[in-house]
Structure 1
C-alpha cells in the first residue's frame, strides 16, 4: 500500500442566504445533507443540493450560501494522507511515510454510484465523533476507507454526461455571467447557448439558484462595481461601462436597488478594514482596523501598541484568521506573498500598495477612504513637528552635514533606504540632512537597501550614523565585532560621537504615524549627543 489515510474530523456547517467563508487545511469531502445553494472552491462555482458530494484539497477557501428561501446543511469530512517515500534500511523493512500536501483529486463535484451508502457512512462517522457514542478509532478508520473506496479516483465522473443536463446548463450560464459581466448579456442569449427555450431557462434558473436571471446578473455587476468604487476612484460613468451598464445614472439606480444606498453613500459609509503593514496609515486617518498584521508581527509595532490595543493580529501567512472578521476592504503591500494576495482578493476588495514614498501612499489611501481632510491635518502636524525639530537642532547640526541609517546583520551590513523604514524618511525630509554621495547614488536613487561589507563601510559613512542591529543569527555578536574593528574606530562619526543606536522594534515601521513618533526619538537622540 503506497498511501495511508487518517481521519481528522467531521463537522457540520449550516448556511442561510448570506455568504459564508471557510479555510480548508486538510483533504476534505463536502456532502450536502439538505437544502440547496451555491458553493465555491477558490472561485470555482457549483450549484449544490441534497446529496451533492464535492472534494476539496488543502489550502483552499470555500464560500457557500443557501438559495433564497432555503437553508443549506453541509458535512465536512477531513482526513490526512501519508505517502510512501520509499524503503529505508530498517530491520523491519518498513516503508517511510510522509504527509502529503499536493492535490489528490481535482477540486469540485464527485459523482458516486451509491449516494445512499455515502449518506449512511457520513451519518455513522458523525455519530462516532459525538460524545454520546464515544470514540472508536478503528471503526472510524474503517468507515473512512469505505468512503474513500466509493469516492476514489475513477469513481468520479470522467465526462459531463453523468451530470443532469438542466443543472449543467445553469452552471454553464452562471460561469459565463461571471466571466462576461462587462458585456451585453440577455436571457435569450444564455438560453440559446445552453439549449433551452427562454421561458424554460428562466424557470430552471430560478429553481436551481433561487434568483431570477436578471437579479443574479445585477448582483454580479454590483459586486464588481463595489470593488471599483473602493479601489479605482473612477467616475460612475466609467465604472458603469466597466461592469456592463450603459451609464452612471442606470448604475446608480440598480446599485440602490441591490445595496440599499447610492454608490456615493456606499463609499462614504465606514468600512470594516483589515490592514497588512500600513497599520499606522489607517490610525493616522482616525480609523481603527478590524484586524491587522505586520511582517515582523503586530507586537513589534512598539510605538503603536496603545492605539492597537484589542486589535487582533491576523498573521502574515494565511487568510484563515481573518475569515470570521468578514472585512469589507483589505489593505496590503506587495511585501506579502503573491499567493497570499491572490487569496485576499477572493475575500474582499483588496488594495495593494507598492514600496515608495510613505506620504504619497498615505494620501492615496486617504483619497480612497474619503479622509482627505484628516490626511491634510496629519501632514500639517508632521511638517510642523519637523520644522520645530530643525529649529532645535539648528545650532547643533551644520547645514551640509550628512546622515544615513545602517543595519548590522550576522553576515553583512545594510545601508537602508526610505521605503524600508528605520526612520530614513525623517532624516532627509523632516530633519533636512543630506545623504552621503554614494548613499544617494547606490541606495536612495535606486530605492533599495544596499548590502555592503565592513571594508566598504567607510565609502558609505555619514557625519551622523544611525545604527540598528538585526538580532537573528547572532547579529548582536556581529555588531560587537564590527564596533571593535579598526575600520569602525577610524570612522569620523565614531571619533566625534555621532553614532546613534536605534531599537529595531521602535524604528522599523514606515507608516506615517510611526514616522511622526520616530521623529521625536531621532530628535532627542541628536540633541542628547550634540549638546
Structure 2
C-alpha cells in the first residue's frame, strides 16, 4: 500500500524547528554509534557524507549522501557509522516540535502491519541536493546567532520554506509511485538517442505524461529543463569529437543531433565561451593567454599566463609565484601588452569595467566570464573549456575539497565553538565580511565550518561585506580575528595601520587575548581556487 504525504503527516502536521545540529562521526568525541531516543519531538536526519546504517527495533536503513530519514516521536533510532576513516557518517539532525495543540492521537501514529505507514520511519529525498544543503547550512549559521526575536522568526521562515519543498518533492513522488522510474527511463533514452531529433512533447508522450508534468518532474530529478539537458549531452559529445577527430564542423553538428552548423556553433559558444574552431585549436597546442584577475584559475589548470596583472598600490599576486612573468599595471591607462608577447586570446571577468580593460579587445580575441565570484567552480569550468583543459577540472576541484575536508575536521577538534571574524581595513574604512558571500565567508564559515561571531550575521547579513564605524568595533566579540590591510586609500605609507593605536582597537576581545592574525591582502581578496587553498593554510597555521 502506498501512502501520500498527507496520510503520513495528518493534520495538524505543521512543525517548528526546535534545534539544528551538524553531527560528524569522524570527530574524536563521537563514537561509532549514536543512539537517539525521540520522545517529545519528531526528528529529521539529512545524510551529507560517509556511509552507515540507521537501526530501529524492527528495521534498518542503509545510509549514504542524499538520504533523509523522518523519525516520528516515540521511536528510538541508532545511527551506526562506517569504521573506515574516509567513510565516517556526517549528517544534519533537526529536532521538530509540533505546532499548535496537537494531541497524541493526531501525531505520527504507527500503522499496524506496515513499515511504511503513518508513524513509521520514512525515507525521503530532496532535489536539487545542493539547494538542500545550502539551505541547511544557512539555517545553522542563523541558529548560531539567533539572539533576537527577528532572527528567530527568520530562522523559522527559512525552515518552513525548506520543509515545504521537502514535502512537495516527496508528495509528487507518492502521487505517481513510478514517476521517478519513468523519468529515469527518459534520461536513459536521451543518453542513448541524443543524436536523433526529439521534442519535449515526444519525450513526455513516450512515458505517458503530459508536457507540463513531464517538464516539472524532469527538472526536479535533474535540475534542468529537458531540452537544456539534451543540448548539454550533445555539446559534451561534440567537445570529444573536436578533440579526437578532424571531422568538419558540419559533420560534427549532424553527428550529435544539431540540425545545422550555424545553430551548433552558436550553442557551443554559449556553452563554452569559445567557438568550436577555437576550442579545437586550443586542445592541440599550448595556448598563450592574458587573464588579469583570473591568473589563479589559469595557473591551477597548468598554464602559465604570458602576462600578469599588477596594481600600483596592491602590487601583484605574490602567492602565485609568477616571478618571471611580465606585469601589466591595470591602474595605468597607458599600460600596454608587450608586442613580442601578444596572447592568443584575453580572458576578463566583471572587473574589466572598473579598469577599462575592454580597450584590449583590439589586440586579441577577448572572452568575458559572467559568473559571480562565489561560483569559483563555474569560473574554473569556463576557464578550462577556453584553455582546452576540461580533463583537469575534477582533479583540481577534488584536491581542494579533500584539503578543505581535512582542515574542517582538524579545526572542529581544536577550536570547537570559538567564534571567528574577518576585517579589511583601509585608511578610510573598516569592512566586516559576511558569512555567506564574498572572498572569505564561503571558505571560512561554510567549507571549514568555523562559527561566525554574532555581529557577522547581524551586521553583514547576506552582503559580501559592510563598512562599520570605529565606534562599533568593540562590539565585535570574536574569539579570533583575521585582518588584512588595504593601502589603496592611504595618503602616506602605513596610514591604514593607524587604527591599531586607537582605544577601540585595544578593546577588541581578540586583541586583548592575542588572537588577531594579519594575512596577505591579495591572497585573501581573491576568488581563485589557489587563493582559497592559501586561506586554508593561513587558518590552519593560526588556529589548527
| Alignment TM-score, normalising by the size of structure 1 | 0.45
| Alignment TM-score, normalising by the size of structure 2 | 0.44
The structure number with the bigger radius of gyration is 1
